[in-house]
Amino acid sequence: MNRIGIACDHAGFEMKEFLIGYLKAQGYDIHDFGCYSEESCDYPDAAHPLAIAVEKGEVETGVALCGSANGISMTLNKHQGVRAAICWRRELAELARAHNDANVISIPARFITSHEAAELVRIFLETPFEGGRHTWRVAKIPVNNG
């Protein structure tokens, strides 16, 4: 499928635009959930539609950006089918996929460069889930209200 959803707030807009170009050049089909300018906006407005698309399987994975990556990750992780991981170093991006089967990478746009973000996204997308002992741990993440 190779369809990736991407979402940001105003603090992540410039980096989002850079990453869209980077990902398209790599052959990915990108669905942009906003925001669409540097004008101040609220991260949940872009995060919720991305999370819903991940849950429905409309996108294979997601990239989310805000100033610290905290707010957008908190919003994304309210959705039971989303495992958003804040990543600012290579090792975190790799472990988020390998051990946690993360399906959204959240990037702190005010703390790393666009080129660093592209490298993190590349690692995130190329790293497979290891399975094994991590499988049952990941299965325990969703809240069971039943």
Query: Annotated active-site positions, please?
Result: 66, 99
Task: Give alpha helix (H) positions in the chain.
Answer: 13-25, 44-56, 70-76, 90-98, 114-126, 133-139
CB 35 within 8 A of CB 45: yes
Chain centroid, CA 60 distance in Å = 11
**Cα(19)–Cα(7) distance, integer angstroms:** 11
**Cα(5)–Cα(134) distance, integer angstroms:** 25
**Cα(80)–Cα(108) distance, integer angstroms:** 22
CB 42 within 8 A of CB 85: no
